[in-house]
A and B are shown apart, each in its own frame.
Chain A
Amino acid sequence: MITKRHRKTIRITLTYIICVLAFIFFIMPLLWITYSSFRSPSAILSGTIISPAGQYTLDNYRTILSVTDFPVYFWNSLRIGFMVTFAAMVLSIIGAYGLSRYSLKGKNAYIMGVFSTQMFPIVLLLIPIYNIIFTMGLFNTALGVVLGQLMLVLPFAVWMLKGYFDNLPKEIEDSARIDGCNLFQMLFRIVLPISAPGIMVAAFYSFVVSWGDYLVVSVISQSQKTATLTLALQRLSSSLLLRWGQVAAATVLTIVPTILLFSFVQTRLVEGLTAGSVKA
């Protein structure tokens, strides 16, 4: 006979077993690459986990930051990430707010239409997009990359924010409208402040997609001037003279900004990401 107390012990034990296994599988790779970025080449190649004290070094970071063009790529990723996030937020906030609060003939078809673009194969779209960007004279420019990445971000951002706006109380806006607020006053004074958590999540999503994009950048921008971290990382890790310590350092520097931003939004992330699904 299994008593209630037994059941509780089993449950807690199982929980910890799952958590330990999940930690080893999901978190260890991140810790391993970070740990390796501080090891000397001979320590990495030794095939051991712990090395003598003298084998730890900051040389990998020093080389990556001063000898290679890594800082240029970092700046490119940052610049493009901010531009994509800003443009996506402006467009999706007004778009989602419109869809949430105003009427539109065939509104559901529009929402469905924007969202169904998520299923288009991006590798197919990129072939004509390359031509469009080229004709616009935006090949190898940051603006070209921004336009290319916007189409990755916008459908989900609009969908997410619309769901968020739908769940907000409308009474405050009604009384503000009676007081004579126009649309933009209302957006800036009332809607933006109360929906800041949702917007933060959408902005985070946009930035992370842009920062992590390899596909669009690799087609639209190959030049030194606009290549981003993901491209640099791929080149670095496929070079013939592979120096794992430096690759590890570069990887850590690529990951750190996303993890930092993640720590600001993490509690709200799922709430925001799934807001659209509650009332799609």
Chain B
Amino acid sequence: MKGSFLRKNGALPLILPTLIIMAVFTVLPLIKGFILSFTNANLLNKSTAYVGLENYKKLFTDPIFWLAFVHSLILTVTAVILELVFGIILALALKQKVPGIKLFRSVIMASWVIPVAATAVMFTFMVEPGYGYYNILLKFLGVKANTFWFGSLNLAFPLIIILHLWRNVPFYGIALLAAMQAIPDTQYEAAEIDGAGPIRSFFTVTLPSIRNMIIVMVTIHVLWTFNNFDMVYLTTGGGPVYSTQVLPVYVYQEAWTNYTTGYASSIGTIMFVLLMFYFIAYIRVYQQQEG
């Protein structure tokens, strides 16, 4: 009996410690958060009562929630598309065998490994009016630009997207490069014999071969970008006048600045539902293509 259990479930004792930690620190909190979203929980108030759908009703008429909602969607879609396009361009450049390219490949991913808190400081410093690197550069080019970009209603949101690009594009570039290097040269030679130029062989040979890597990169970056908190929180805090407010930052501020953890949980639950839809759609598409 025991022998057959081990044969069927031999992996269980080994993966169990990880499962327990994940259960206590992700699954249980998810359920608790869901329950909290139906209460008036407040960190300053010891008594908590169920209020039914009150939080969700409030949320649907909360203009800041809708702003954050729209911003989160725009940010995720724009950042992921731009990252992919620039990532492919970067990978194509990194693939070329020219002098110095190896060194360049090795340093380009530096932006991905440093803390976001440091990235936030660096970019805030660079867009300072008067002495920031960007503004010095613009002045040099003859453009009058003496604004603090993070403080500008028009520039803050694009700058948040630029921050995402700065951090993630090199990762795309290096990962797609790895996928491109796995393509045998013979495929390109065959395309060339068929009379394909560099652009056509990119679409007929390169792109289909790196398709799987693109899917993996896009999937994880949609999740990471939508859930990303510190890029916005540590630069603009959602401002100026909510122009960069996104859902994770709104949840955080409701919970830890206003202490309304019940309401914060309802926004967090909406975030989870959106990600679920995305995940289910992804699995559907994936299975359709496999089968």
Chain A positions near chain B (C-beta within 8 angstroms)? 7, 11-12, 14-16, 18-19, 22-23, 25-30, 32-33, 36, 44-49, 91-92, 94-95, 97-99, 101-105, 107, 110, 114, 116-129, 131-132, 147-148, 150-151, 154-155, 158, 208, 211-215, 218-219, 229-231, 233-234, 237, 244, 247-248, 251, 254-255, 258-259, 261-263, 266-267, 269-271, 273-274, 277
Contacts of B123 in A (CB 8 A): 29
Partner of A49, one of B18, B136, B272: B136
Render B1-45 as a binary contact track against A, CB cut-off 8 A, 1 for contact.
Answer: 000000111111111011101101111111011001000000000
A147 to B21, CA, bound (A): 8
Q: Which residue of B lies closest to A263 (CB)?
A: B106
B25 touches A214 (CB 8 A): no
Q: How far is the CB of A83 from chain B (nearest CB, A)?
A: 14
Q: Which of B52-60, B153-161, B247-255 is near enough to bind chain A?
A: B247-255
Q: Is the CB of B227 within 8 A of A266?
A: no
**A270 contacts which chain B residues (CB < 8 A)?**
174-175, 177-178
Apart from A124-B268, A254-B118: 5 A-B pairs, beta carbons within 8 A: A19-B93, A107-B11, A120-B30, A123-B227, A123-B264
Of B74-82, B96-104, B183-191, which binds chain A?
B96-104
Question: Shortest CB–CB separation between residue A229 and chain B, in angstroms?
Answer: 7
A91/B21 contact (C-beta < 8 A), A237-B124, A270-B174, A274-B175 known: yes
A/B pair count, beta carbons within 8 Å? 277
CB pair B251–A254 under 8 Å, yes or no, is no
Residues of B close to A23: CB separation below 8 A:
104
Contacts of B24 in A (CB 8 A): 132
Q: Does A212 contact B116, Cβ atoms closer than 8 Å?
A: yes
Contact A102 B10 (CB under 8 A): yes
Please name all residues of chain A whose beta carbon is closer than 8 Å to the beta carbon of B121 when the two chains form the complex: 33, 233, 237, 247, 251
Distance (Å) between the CB of B258 and the closest chain A CB? 13
Q: With both chains docked as a complex, state the minimum distance between the C-beta of B61 and any C-beta of chain A, in angstroms.
A: 21
Residue tally, chain B, CB below 8 Å to A? 94
Given the contacts A114-B22, A117-B22, A132 and B29 also touching, CB distance less than 8 Å: yes
Given A14-B93, A254-B117: A123 and B131 within 8 A (CB)?
Answer: no
User: How far apart sit A110 and B276, CA to CA, in the bound complex (Å)?
Assistant: 17
Residues of B within 8 A of A254 (CB): 114-115, 117-118
B114 pairs with A215, CB closer than 8 A: no
Closest B residue to A131 by CB, please name it: B32
Of chain B, the residue at the smallest CB distance from A247 is B121
* A119 and B109 contact, Cβ closer than 8 Å, known pairs A127-B255, A251-B118: no
Closest beta carbon of chain A to B285's beta carbon, Å: 15
Decide: B251 and A123 in contact? CB cutoff 8 A.
yes
**Nearest chain A CB to B187 CB, angstrom units:** 18
CA of A131 to CA of B261, assembled, Å:
11
Q: How far is the CA of A142 from the CA of B36 in the complex (A)?
A: 27
Q: Is the CB of B111 within 8 A of A26?
A: yes
Query: In the complex, what's the smallest C-beta–C-beta distance from B255 to chain A, in angstroms?
Result: 5
- Chain A residues with Cβ under 8 A from B19's Cβ? 110, 114
Contact between chains at B213 and A118 (CB < 8 Å): no
- Whether the Cβ atoms of B272 and A120 lie closer than 8 Å is yes
Task: Give CA–CA (A27, B104) in the complex, Å.
Answer: 10
Specify which of A19, A32, A94, A110 is in contact with B101 (CB 8 Å cutoff).
Answer: A19
Most buried by A among B14, B133, B166: B14
